[in-house]
Amino acid sequence: MIDVKKTNGPTLVGGAFDIVFGEMEKVENAIVYLEGPGLDNTTFDTKTSVSGQTVTVTIMKCTTTAVSPTAWAVATTGNVAGQDVVVIATGI
């Protein structure tokens, strides 16, 4: 089974938020896609962990400039304001 959930500007705690796929008995794998207004000089990366029906998405950000990028850090709620976060999960 495949399911897709979308949220806009999720509230992050420590850079992470949970999304529940109640239609599945168990999520086996999940991927994340971010889309929204342009954030100049910002790059996002995501990590997922799965437990039962719940996918925990951790969003990291890196500010890049023509001179040099900064180190990766956890994103904050303000960093993802206005961003659509799409989670696609497979499971049973």
Half-sphere exposure in the Cβ direction for 92 (13 Å, CA): 2
- The CA angle 75-21-89, to the nearest 5 degrees, is 70
Residue 54's identity, in one-letter code, is T
Per the model's pLDDT, the better-predicted residue between 47 and 37 turns out to be: 47
This prediction has a pTM of 0.90
| C-alpha–C-alpha distance, residues 47 and 6, integer Å | 16
* Number of domains into which the chain is organized: 1
Q: What is the pLDDT of residues 46-92, one digit of tens each?
A: 999 999 999 999 999 988 876 776 788 999 999 999 999 999 999 99
Task: Determine the pLDDT at residue 23.
Answer: 93
Confidence band, pLDDT 50/70/90 cuts, at residue 12: very high
Sole residue written with tokens 């979308």 = 6
pLDDT at 74: 94
Mean pLDDT of 3-31: 97
Domain membership of residue 61 as a residue range: 2-91
How many residues appear in the chain?
92
**∠ CA 75-2-14 to the nearest 5 degrees?**
15
pLDDT at 52: 97
**Nearest-angstrom CA–CA distance, 37 and 32:** 17
